[in-house]
């Protein structure tokens, strides 16, 4: 985990220092902002691999290499390149990346296993790269011949010539799905993401784009000769080998988010079976009676884990909410997912960061193995929900066309299920779950590894037919069968039969309290007069929208000291917000 930023074709020390300062939480171990006549750059590093802190970016002759993330196979790549007579200036992931680009050009990222956002800056060329799932973020904006890039949007907003402007098309998508479906868009007009699996290059005023990774499209049915039982065995072996690789990457102590559900329990169980010492597990709850809390406690005990439990209340939620929005850089909205999951994850992340520097989470398992009950098991009902949310945005022809292609007529449950699999693995994963996870760990200067998205696991999962994963009234079929022998070994096989809850469950009681509070702060009259009322259904929507607008448009991405949600409305700050 690191923070990177730069201005290509401009030397501006004051701007790059401000840009890096706004994201210094991402890398507490170094801070370096400087430049030459043709560019300015900044980097802050969270040291994970190696004992010596290497400056960020790394310098190779006239080339600069920035890396945010982890390259799990860089040792293997280093050995392979070395066997070809290629030498390295120093031992690092950046050195391997630079030599790969020298040898393979735009195809180089296809050799990397890991999570990464990469920038390579030379005198006449800027290259931006993002991993195939979009685990690590990377944004950019053009200002004439200049290109501004950064790990977070707030960093770009620090440039004195950048003025935030709302992207209404992206806002429409957010209101329908709960996240921005377009992989290259943000809520800020003119500020783009590097799409997952892409290389973008800027040279001589021209932009070129190359896709180095394509996610495999789902197959509904098994092919002739496929064997389910063999696939389940192979899946477990792949998960075990991949976890061993990720656990060995970096010497820091590592922990596990543990909800007591299928995904997190399997990761912690595999790690426990591989490790010679107890694993560290972490659970959050707003109630002693929480089903997840009790299940996580029992799983941790069975594993002999060093278990930590954290209790929170409505005041903790309200205190963290402005900070969450500041880091999330987006509006929290309903749609496909529950709005409270991201905040719960950040509340737990803050606690975990005091104990370990690296933690594993289960993001990606639901998308790869069909884990969302109702969404995957009842795709016709899910399509009805999305169509209902679309009604307010019928004037957005692009969005209407997107929904129509996702749910074509006549209705067909199998086709809808397949389309949902292929849809959520892209924008739903990159622009909601992974977006949130990256911000919530980087906010506290530590790293989260979404283990199921390790290349070997993900590629194998994507090759499996949907019938191995989800059917009517059944989710994560093959993942459960892959895990069963290990769960039997630890005496926790009943975890397989637990209904999926997810992070929002950790704040179920708080969510009810928040709903009541929001109704006292935001009246129907306030909503009816809101300049963005088209996007606001209830008082909580209004709060999320107002806080986002206040932080990013009134304050250019800077969080005002002591921002209090209740006082924000009691003092009428919201009334003058939109001018």
Question: Of 185, 211, 237, which residue is a domain's last?
Answer: 211
Flag whether 20 is in a domain: yes
Residues 317 and 273 in one domain: yes
Residues 252 and 311 in one domain: yes
Question: Of 509, 532, 566, which residue is a domain's last?
Answer: 509
Write out the two tokens for 301.
């005990």
Residues 246 and 202 in one domain: no
Residues 540 and 481 in one domain: no
Q: Along the 579 residues of the chain, how does pLDDT read in single tens digits?
A: 699 999 999 999 999 999 999 999 999 888 888 888 889 999 998 877 655 666 778 888 888 999 999 999 999 999 999 899 887 777 789 999 999 999 999 999 999 999 999 999 987 899 999 999 999 999 999 999 999 999 999 999 999 999 999 999 999 999 999 999 999 999 999 999 999 999 999 998 899 999 999 999 999 988 888 899 999 999 999 999 999 999 999 888 899 999 999 999 999 999 999 988 899 999 999 999 888 999 999 999 999 999 999 999 999 999 999 999 999 999 988 777 888 889 999 999 999 999 999 999 999 999 999 999 889 999 999 999 999 999 999 999 999 999 999 999 999 999 999 999 999 999 999 999 999 999 999 999 999 999 999 999 999 999 999 999 998 888 999 999 999 999 999 999 999 988 776 666 778 889 999 999 999 999 988 899 999 999 999 999 999 999 999 999 999 999 999 999 999 999 999 988 987
Residues 18 and 116 in one domain: yes
Flag whether 221 is in a domain: no
For 7, phi then psi, to 5°, come to: -125, 115
Residues 188 and 241 in one domain: no
Write out the two tokens for 25.
């939480």
- Sorted by sequence, the CB contacts under 8 Å of residue 360 that are 6+ apart come out as 246, 254, 255, 256, 257, 267, 268, 271, 448, 449, 450, 451
Q: What is the CA radius of gyration of the chain?
A: 23
Flag whether 462 is in a domain: yes
- Mind telling me the catalytic residues? 2
CB 276 within 8 A of CB 304: no
Residues 176 and 320 in one domain: no
Cα separations (Å) of 206 from 189, 201, 247, 315? 20, 8, 41, 50
CA distance 547 to 532: 13
**CATH of residue 475:** 3.40.50.620
CA distance 299 to 344: 20
Quickly tell me which residue has 């201005």 as its tokens: 7
Q: What angle do CA 16, 18, 21 make, to 5 degrees?
A: 105
Flag whether 32 is in a domain: yes
Residues 312 and 443 in one domain: yes
**CATH of residue 184:** 3.60.20.10
Flag whether 297 is in a domain: yes
pTM: 0.96
Flag whether 270 is in a domain: yes
Flag whether 412 is in a domain: no
Give start and end residues of each alpha helix (H) in 128-197.
153-157, 168-177
The total number of structural domains in the chain stands at 3
Residues 323 and 465 in one domain: yes
Give start and end residues of each alpha helix (H) in 189-304.
228-248, 262-274, 291-303
Residues 560 and 501 in one domain: no
Flag whether 398 is in a domain: no
Could you tell me the residue range of the domain that residue 545 belongs to?
Answer: 522-576
Question: Of 157, 179, 211, which residue is a domain's last?
Answer: 211
Residues 117 and 251 in one domain: no
- Predicted local distance difference test score (pLDDT) of residue 28: 86
Residues 132 and 198 in one domain: yes
């Amino acid at each position: 985990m690191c923070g990177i930023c730069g201005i290509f074709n401009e030397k501006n020390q004051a701007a790059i220092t401000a840009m890096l300062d706004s994201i210094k939480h991402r890398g507490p171990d170094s801070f370096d902002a400087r430049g030459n006549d043709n560019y300015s750059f900044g980097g802050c590093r969270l040291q994970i691999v190696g004992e010596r802190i290497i400056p960020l970016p790394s310098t190779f002759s006239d080339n600069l290499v920035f890396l945010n993330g982890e390259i799990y196979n860089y040792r293997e790549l280093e050995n392979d390149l070395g066997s070809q007579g290629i030498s390295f200036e120093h031992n690092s992931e950046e050195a391997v990346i630079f030599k790969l680009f020298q040898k393979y050009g735009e195809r180089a990222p296809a050799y990397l296993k890991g999570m990464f956002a990469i920038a390579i800056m030379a005198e006449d060329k800027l290259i931006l790269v993002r991993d195939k799932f979009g685990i690590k973020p990377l944004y950019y904006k053009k200002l004439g011949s200049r290109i501004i890039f950064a790990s977070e949007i707030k960093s770009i907003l620090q440039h004195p010539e950048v003025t935030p402007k709302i992207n209404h098309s992206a806002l429409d998508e957010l209101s329908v799905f709960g996240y921005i479906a377009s992989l290259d868009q943000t809520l800020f007009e003119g500020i783009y993401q590097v799409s997952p699996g892409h290389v973008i290059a800027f040279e001589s005023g021209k932009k070129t784009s190359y896709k180095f990774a394509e996610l495999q499209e789902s197959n509904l049915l098994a092919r002739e000769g496929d064997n389910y039982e063999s696939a389940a065995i192979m899946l477990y072996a792949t998960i075990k080998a991949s976890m061993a690789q990720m656990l060995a990457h970096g010497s820091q102590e590592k922990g596990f988010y543990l909800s007591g559900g299928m995904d997190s329990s399997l990761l912690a169980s595999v790690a426990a079976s591989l490790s010679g010492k107890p694993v560290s597990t972490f659970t959050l709850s707003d109630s002693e009676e929480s089903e997840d809390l009790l299940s996580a406690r029992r799983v941790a005990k069975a594993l002999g884990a060093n278990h930590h439990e954290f209790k929170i209340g409505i005041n903790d939620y309200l205190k963290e909410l402005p900070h969450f929005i500041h880091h999330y850089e987006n509006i929290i909205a309903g749609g496909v997912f529950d709005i409270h999951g991201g905040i719960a994850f950040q509340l737990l992340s803050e606690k975990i960061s005091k104990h370990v520097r690296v933690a594993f989470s289960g993001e990606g398992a639901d998308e790869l193995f069909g884990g969302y009950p109702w969404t995957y098991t009842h795709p016709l009902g899910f399509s009805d929900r999305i169509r209902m949310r679309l009604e307010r945005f019928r004037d957005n022809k692009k969005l209407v066309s997107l929904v129509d292609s996702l749910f074509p007529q006549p209705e067909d449950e199998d086709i809808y299920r397949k389309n949902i699999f292929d849809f959520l693995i892209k924008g739903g994963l990159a622009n909601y779950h992974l977006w949130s996870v990256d911000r919530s760990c980087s906010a506290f200067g530590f790293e989260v590894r979404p283990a199921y998205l390790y290349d070997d696991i993900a590629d194998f999962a994507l090759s499996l037919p949907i019938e191995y994963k989800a059917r009517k009234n059944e989710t994560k079929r093959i993942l459960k069968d892959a895990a069963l022998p290990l769960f039997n070994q630890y005496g926790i096989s009943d975890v397989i039969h637990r209904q999926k809850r997810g992070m929002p469950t950790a704040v179920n009681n708080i969510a009810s309290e928040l709903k009541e509070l929001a109704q006292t702060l935001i009246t129907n009259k306030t909503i009816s007069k809101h300049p963005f009322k088209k996007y606001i259904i209830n008082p909580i929507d209004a709060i999320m929208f107002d806080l986002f607008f206040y932080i990013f448009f009134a304050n250019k991405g800077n969080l005002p000291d002591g921002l209090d949600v209740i006082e924000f409305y009691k003092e009428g700050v919201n009334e003058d917000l939109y001018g």
